[in-house]
Chains A and B, each alone.
Chain A
């Protein structure tokens, strides 16, 4: 045992200090590792969400060009993350409207996965489609979307949305271009100050051009 002597105690002092200091250091390192781990976890979930969203965006873009291919659509977003996406076109919609459910599962090399389900409304518009997504679900469980029943999973469909949309188009179409332009000019003083310089030079001409050349 260590006995305090009047000389040669330097070693004992160092040992005592070490015994106190080392655990403190270890506790701190542990805390830092926990914080780092949490940060990485949050970041990874963000990457996965972004990956799954990319899958959905891709499918939606395909739907826009009237490509209703069910999939699987697969792609790698980075070296370690990829998505696999399917489309279920059997959703029940109103007349002139198609409801599609898009499933996109993001996976990473670390074994994490995330499933995102989107419900979109598809309206035919010339050689393309007008696509309006109205719900996104994120499920952080590892589900096999290949066997997922779309109809049972999501029927959160807002049936009145279609009617509201058509009503709005009619309402806009009734307003004369001249009146519309004047209304927009009258708004100039009320829009945010930073935007006022662009309002009459850029924003109004853009809106009016669209009203004249296209559907609204």
Chain B
């Protein structure tokens, strides 16, 4: 019985198998890394784009509200040259309505409150905005109550020195976006 007979049939050599294995392993490794990196980059790009677009929408909403401002009340503009608030901003709009943009940290939301003044001088706080429509009717608009969701940080910085600019920065999913507004009637 020949237990250890040497076969003379042609087959892959050990060297060929090793070389092929090394090349295949390297290629698979490279491809795996490429796929992983590519998906990772795509995901980051998509996240970034979504966050920035969302942040931009919110900043435009804030900007729209602040354009109507007649007086900036909080943070105080009287005492210091540079004032920062990470919580809220209070202003009076062109219609004399006191407005509060407040950051609700618990729900990660930016909310708008309005305090209009009626003919008898009474003031009541409401969610959303009060504004005049095209027919001159003064109406409550609750759809403006939540200005933005998933906000991690908010910062309002007011620079009293020229140019008089209110800068607002918001952070969504670790991405920051800054916008600024020249205060017209403050």
Contacts and interface: CB of A to CB of B under 8 A. Distances in A.
Interface in A171-213: 171-172, 174-176, 179-180, 183-184, 186-187, 190-192, 194-195, 198, 202-203, 206-207, 209-210
B73 to A, nearest CB: 5
A180 B123 CA distance: 9
Contacts of A192: 88, 100, 102, 104, 111, 113
B73 A39 contact: no
Contact of A132 (B11, B41, B94, B125): B94
Nearest to B48: A39
Contacts of B80: none
Interface residues of B, number: 66
B77 to A, nearest CB: 8
B152 to A, nearest CB: 16
Nearest to A14: B23
User: In terms of DSSP, what is the predominant structure of the interface of chain B?
Assistant: mixed
A195 B100 contact: yes
Contacts of B179: 50
A8 B16 contact: yes
A21 B46 contact: no
B46 A171 contact: no
A61 B88 contact: no
B164 to A, nearest CB: 8
Q: Which of B10, B35, B45, B181 has the most CB of A within 10 A?
A: B45
Contact of A10 (B16, B49, B100): B16
A202 B74 contact: yes
A74 interface: no
Contacts, number: 159
Contacts of B135: 160
A25 B42 contact: no
Contacts of B123: 183-184, 186-187
B87 A187 contact: no
B132 A7 contact: no
Interface in B51-93: 52-53, 56, 67-68, 70-71, 73-74, 76, 78, 87-88, 90, 92
Contacts of A176: 121
Contact of B23 (A10, A161, A174): A10
Given A60-B184, A160-B132, A191 B10 contact: no
A161 B46 contact: no
A7 B16 contact: yes
Contact of B42 (A31, A186, A198): A31
B177 to A, nearest CB: 9
Contact of A172 (B27, B111, B117): B117
Interface stretch (A78-86, A104-112, A140-148, A162-170): A162-170
A160 B137 CA distance: 9
Nearest to B90: A203
A124 B45 CA distance: 49
A35 B20 contact: no
The interface centre, meaning the residue of B76, B92, B94, B113 with most chain A CB atoms within 10 A of its CB, is: B94
For A21, A133, A158, A168, the residue with the greatest tally of chain B CB atoms inside 10 Å of its CB is A168
Contacts of A195: 74, 87-88, 90, 100, 102
Contact of A21 (B31, B95, B181): B31
Interface of B: 10-13, 16, 19-20, 23-24, 27, 31, 34-35, 38, 41-42, 45-46, 48-49, 52-53, 56, 67-68, 70-71, 73-74, 76, 78, 87-88, 90, 92, 94-96, 98, 100, 102-105, 111, 113, 115, 117-119, 121-125, 132, 134-136, 138, 163, 179, 181-182, 184-185
5 contacts: A35-B46, A50-B179, A64-B184, A132-B184, A192-B113
